Amino acid sequence: MNLKKIRIILALALSLGSLVSCTNNEDVKKEAENNKNTEQVIEMEQNTEEETEEEAIPEETNTEENVEVNDENLENVNMANGTYASSLEPGRNGEREADGSWGNVYDILLEGNTLIIKGSLDFYAEDKSDESAELLGNQDNIVKIGNNTRFTSQTQEQSSKGEETTYTPEEFIKFYNENKENLKAIFIEVDNDILTNLAVMY
């Protein structure tokens, strides 16, 4: 093989090598670019999934805080265990008569699971007799309602027969508001810091 042929073969080999190298470099570049694009797509999908998960998680609600807002009067509960009695006269706005006679309740409100009895009450503690009533001033008397709290009304006729009408808390408030001008007296019992019985007479 003469020198000229050897040079031609070498030149061809180098050309082919360069061509293969260029092709390989192109392929490598394309593959790298494809990998880069694939990584970007995967990253975008992951970000989208994370955003979707964040949106799917509901905001935490503070149930206890809601309860406190709805039943803020619970902090002001002030009725001790014992028995309470009072007359029911809306027009006197809780004021006792000059002779210090019975207290006077002029409004009753239901707020959540608390009852607000507005006016003055005569309080008979659990360990005291009926003769030693404590005369409470005109104020908001607040007590918690339990699942077994009884609300009743009684006419004189029902009283003579040992009968009474019972209500749910909501029914009692409706009855009270419709009949407050005709009601005469209220009796309240509190035990274990819960209103156990509330009875009105008319």
Q: Can you give the three-state secondary structure of 109-151, one letter per residue?
A: EEECCEEEEEECCEEEECCCCHHHCEECCCEEEEEEEEEEEEE
pLDDT value at 77 more than 60? yes
How far, in Å, CA of 134 to CA of 49, rounded?
Answer: 68
Note whether 195 and 109 are same-domain residues: yes
Please check whether residue 68 lies inside any domain of the structure: no
Which of 10, 28, 57 marks a domain boundary? 57
* pLDDT tens by residue, 40-73: 544 555 555 555 444 444 444 333 333 333 445 5
Note whether 53 and 144 are same-domain residues: no
Please check whether residue 83 lies inside any domain of the structure: yes
How far, in Å, CA of 10 to CA of 47, rounded?
Answer: 54
Please check whether residue 104 lies inside any domain of the structure: yes
How far, in Å, CA of 44 to CA of 58, rounded?
Answer: 23
pTM for the model stands at 0.62
DSSP letter for 2, please: -
Note whether 176 and 132 are same-domain residues: yes
- The mean pLDDT value for 153-182 works out to 95
According to the per-residue pLDDT averaged within each range, which of 30-39, 66-75, 162-171 is highest?
162-171
The number of domains in the chain is: 2
According to the per-residue pLDDT averaged within each range, which of 76-85, 87-96, 140-149 is highest?
140-149
Distance separating the N- and C-terminal Cα atoms of the chain: 136
How far, in Å, CA of 108 to CA of 202, rounded?
Answer: 16
Q: What is the distance of C-alpha 140 from the center of its chain?
A: 24
Note whether 109 and 140 are same-domain residues: yes
Note whether 132 and 168 are same-domain residues: yes
Q: Quote the pLDDT of residue 39.
A: 53
Note whether 160 and 77 are same-domain residues: yes
* pLDDT tens by residue, 104-137: 999 999 999 999 999 999 999 876 555 678 999 9
Please check whether residue 63 lies inside any domain of the structure: no
Q: Is 98 helix (H, G, I), strand (E, B) or coil?
A: coil
Residue 133 CB contacts under 8 Å (≥ 6 apart), including other chains: 85, 122, 123, 124
Confidence of residue 97 (pLDDT cuts 50, 70, 90): confident
Note whether 88 and 181 are same-domain residues: yes
How far, in Å, CA of 160 to CA of 183, rounded?
Answer: 17
Please check whether residue 66 lies inside any domain of the structure: no
Q: Which domain holds residue 50?
A: 1-57
